[in-house]
Amino acid sequence: MIDTIPRSRRLFRGRAAPARRPRALRYAHVIGWGMEVPSQVLSNSDLEAIVETNDEWITTRTGIKERRIAAQRETTTSLATRAAQKALDLADVLPSAIDLIIVATATPEHIFPSTASLVQDYLGATNAGAFDLSAACSGFVYGVDMAVSKIQTGTVNTALVIGAETLSRVVDWTDRGTCILFGDGAGAVVLQGSDTPGGVLGSVLRSDGSGWDMLTLPTANSRETYLQDGAHQQGRIYMDGRGVFRFATRVIGESIRDALTQAGLTPDDLTLVIPHQANQRIIDHAAKALKIPEDRVYSNVARYGNTSAASIPIALAEAVEEERIKPGDIIALVGFGGGLSWAGDGHRVDCRALPPVVLAHLGPPPGGLRLRRSAPPADPQVAAADAALADDVDSHGARLPAPPPRADQQVARREGRGVAGNGGVLSQCFTSPPLGANAPRFPLSAAAKRYPQMPPIPQLLPPRCA
């Protein structure tokens, strides 16, 4: 006899089948972004006193002029949290509305707990799941892909994806081939589900583990034989620069093309590419590989160096601030690095999916659009918790003086809108002055004092400098 029970229900004979999740396709839009970098600047000329190098070599081979170095009390978590707060403030999203937090990092404070769980706690994102993602410099694009997949299936509505690093703590300061490259910082985006077509249109994730030993950061669990070969050290970055360079130039164009093909687009449709900021020569190669003008490939590598998983979201945040991204634009992100791993995606920026504060950043919205506003949480307990956080109660319960509200928060308050995030809390916990030309530079003589987490400077210096 033919079984007439549908296949999907056969397993549930005798008991009720679980409710089916509605399968309406959602679109995942980036609706907020933020960045945080330490205020300490390490210039190329500062490096001349640490390793045998010079500004001319670093500039011509990498395009890097300076990088940021975390102060003692700054951590991957604190940078990540500050970047996330800015993204939430801009998106006008309350911490309690976040369903998922992904932190892409190669420099977590712990293997567990995850940095993402610490960020979840600092933000007061009481409804969010949280995990770290390890894909080196490709990690941010991998993280966006994970969040987009969850949003598209409807299991998550709002996700926070963060790239955050304190690479200065794992750089070998005696290796001039790597220590000149890396810097610290964090960037974050808020992704949200919408019925408005657009947002992330296609993405590709790739890996070639056969090249694992070209770029490594060994942990306490690394094989003894690997750590005893004289070239590698636990907790220090090792890189075969030329090998990684060849790999990066091979994959940078290919992964964007593949992601755009998925979305039925071509490189000619691109307004802006935001590549991982590893080296200006690799960034320039992206334009050649895609046959697009160089000014359509964003670069800020000169100011921050290579911040690994943080470089793309930092560049994205700066590109928007510099008005390089407008509603209607097609942009692509591409990451590459340790694994070896690489990933690319394509986005269409659609103003119908963006909150008002974001639109104010992007330019005046086209007339007649009805814009979304985030509603305060329905659950009174959650609303009270958010209010308490916004009133500057830090996650450990200490009451802190309220900092002056930022200009956009003042506008939001005047308009009677809820202000997302707990903006003042972390500015009290992890004070760092704003970016700008006047960012303080530290004298080299004070370097040992400023880098207590690193070996003392005399150990870092080659014998002739010590």
Interface residue list for ligand UT7 (CB under 6 A): 53, 57-58, 61-62, 137, 176-177, 180, 215, 241-242, 244-245, 248, 278-279, 282, 306, 308, 337
The C-alpha atoms of residue 150 and residue 209 are separated, in whole angstroms, by 26
Q: Which residues contact 347 (CB under 8 A, 6 or more apart)?
A: 30, 198, 199, 200, 201, 330, 331, 332, 333
* Catalytic residue chosen out of the listed positions 137, 279, 285, 351: 137
* Catalytic residue chosen out of the listed positions 232, 276, 285, 347: 276
Q: Work out whether strand 40-43 and strand 272-275 pair parallel, antiparallel, or are unpaired.
A: unpaired
Q: Tell me whether residue 93 or residue 278 sits nearer to ligand UT7 (CB atom).
A: 278
Active site residue 232: no
Q: Which residues contact 82 (CB under 8 A, 6 or more apart)?
A: 34, 36, 186, 426, 427, 430, 432
Closest approach of ligand UT7 to the CB of residue 358, in Å: 29
Q: Tell me whether residue 411 or residue 444 sits nearer to ligand UT7 (CB atom).
A: 444
Q: Is 90 helix (H, G, I), strand (E, B) or coil?
A: helix
Closest approach of ligand UT7 to the CB of residue 238, in Å: 12
Closest approach of ligand UT7 to the CB of residue 249, in Å: 9
Q: Tell me whether residue 122 or residue 336 sits nearer to ligand UT7 (CB atom).
A: 336
- Could you tell me which residues are beta bridge partners of residue 66? 43
Q: Tell me whether residue 103 or residue 382 sits nearer to ligand UT7 (CB atom).
A: 103
Q: Other CB atoms closer than 10 Å to residue 316's CB: what's the count? A: 27
Q: Tell me whether residue 241 or residue 356 sits nearer to ligand UT7 (CB atom).
A: 241
Q: Work out whether strand 27-36 and strand 330-337 pair parallel, antiparallel, or are unpaired.
A: unpaired
The full 3-state SS of 141-200, as one line of letters, equals HHHHHHHHHHHHHCCCCEEEEEEEEEHHHCCCCCCCCCCCCECEEEEEEEEEEECCCCEE
Closest approach of ligand UT7 to the CB of residue 446, in Å: 23
> Is the distance from CB of 137 to CB of 107 less than 8 angstroms?
no
Active site residue 351: no
Closest approach of ligand UT7 to the CB of residue 337, in Å: 4
Active site residue 137: yes
Phi, psi of 192 (to 5 degrees): -140, 145
Q: Work out whether strand 341-348 and strand 199-207 pair parallel, antiparallel, or are unpaired.
A: antiparallel
Closest approach of ligand UT7 to the CB of residue 292, in Å: 20
Amino acid at 38: P
Q: Tell me whether residue 62 or residue 203 sits nearer to ligand UT7 (CB atom).
A: 62
CB closest to ligand UT7, residue no: 241
* Catalytic residue chosen out of the listed positions 44, 279, 300, 306: 306
Annotated catalytic residues are 137, 276, 306
